[in-house]
Amino acid sequence: MHIYSAIGCIEIAVPGKWGYRCTGMSFLNLMRVFLAALYDGLDKQSGKVFKKGIGNFTGFNSFEDVLKAWQHQIKYYTRKTVEIDTAVDTALEENVPDILCSAFVDNCISRGKTIKEGGSKYDFISGLQVGIANLGNSLAAIKKLVFEEKKITKEQLLFALENNFEGEDGEKIRQLLLNFAPKYGNDEDYVDLLLKDAYMEFINELEKYHTTRYNRGPVGCKYYAGTSSISANVPSGAVVPATPDGRKAFTPVAEGSSPSSGTDLRGPTAVFKSVSKLPTKKIMGGVLLNQKLTPATIRKDQDKKKLISIIRTFFEELKGWHVQYNIVSRETLLAAKKNPEKYRDLIVRVAGYSAFFTTLSPDTQDDIIARTEHLLI
C-alpha cells in the first residue's frame, strides 16, 4: 500500500524510493518542501504544484520573503503528514491489530483493546523529518550570500541549482555556498538559530493535531517531531535536485540531526552545542546524532576519559538526547567496501540500528564513509 504526499512517501511494510513506512509514521523530505517554496509551490522533480506558493525566488525582495514562502509550504505539508498518519493508523487498526505487541503494553489487556484501538496508557506519535542540516545550511547560504553580501544573485543561484552546478560558473557558485556560508554543526548561532526557527514552523503547526485515539482512553494522543530518519536520508536525497547548501542533485541529504557530512569542522563538542540549540524538548520522536571516531582517537586511557567527559557534558549540561558512535577508520571502511569477503564481521552503527557493513547498499556505505572523522582535542 502506498500513500503519497507531494514530498514524502508513506508505505506499509514496503520500502520505496521516497521513504519508508514500517510502524505508523510519516517521512517528510524537508528539502523537497524548501525547493518548492523557492519555486512558487512547484515541485521541480514531479513537475506538479501541490500547494500554490507566494511567488518565485527571483521575485523575493528580502530574506523575510524566503521565510514566508517556507512557512506557507511547511504548514501545508505538516497537515499532509498528519493526514497520511491518520490513513495508516486507520488501516492498521482495521487490518493489523498487532495483538502480541499490544499484550505487552500497559492497559491494553485491561481495556480489551489493541494499541491502535486506544488500549495503551500513553499515546504519542512522531513522524520523521529528513534533511535537517541541509535546511539550516540552505537558509544560511541564501541569507548571507544572496541578500547580505550579494556575492550570488537570485538568478545565478537558481540557474546553478537547475543545472546541478555544472560548468565553471556553476562550480564557482557551489564553492561559495560550501565554503563562505556558516554551516550547522560548528556552534554558529547564525545558522543554528535559523534552523531552529524554521523547524519550529513545522512543530508549531503539528501541535494543532491529534491522533485517531483522541478521546478513546490514552493519555496524550498528540503528534511530535522526530529526526530519527534511520537511513532514509539516502533514498530521500535520491529524489532531491541540487540544493542551496551546495549539495549536488540526488546525493544523500543529512541524516538525523547530524551535520551534513564534512561540514562540521570544529570538533564533536561544537556539534553537540549546535544540536542542543534545536527545540529538543519538542522533538520527542528522537534527536538522532551520529559521530565517527578513528580507533586511534581513544587508544589511550586519558582519551577514553575525555570522551566520557564530553558525552556526560552533552547529556547533563546541554540536555542532549542521543549520540551514537562508529569507531572505525575511513581506510577500514574503504577496504571493506572493496573486499567485502574479508570484512564480513565488520559491524557499524547506521542510524538507530547496527548492521554488518558489507550487507548495506553501496549508497549507504558511501554515506557512512563520508561522515566527518572527529578528533578529541
Instruction: List residues with catalytic annotation.
Output: 9, 11
Neighbour-count burial for 230-269, b at 16+ CB within 10 Å, e otherwise? bbbbbbbbebbbbbbbbbebebbbbbbbbbbbebbebbbb
Phi and psi, residue 367, nearest 5°? -65, -40
> Cα angle vertex 8, ends 7, 13, to 5°?
165
Q: CA–CA separation, 229 vs 128, rounded Å?
A: 6
Looking up cell 523537497 gives: 32
- DSSP annotation of 210: B
The sign one gets for the Cα dihedral 350, 246, 335, 267 is negative
268-276 and 301-316 are packed helices; what angle lies between their axes, rounded to 10 degrees? 10
Classify residue 44 as left (phi > 0), alpha (psi -120 to 50) or beta. Answer: alpha
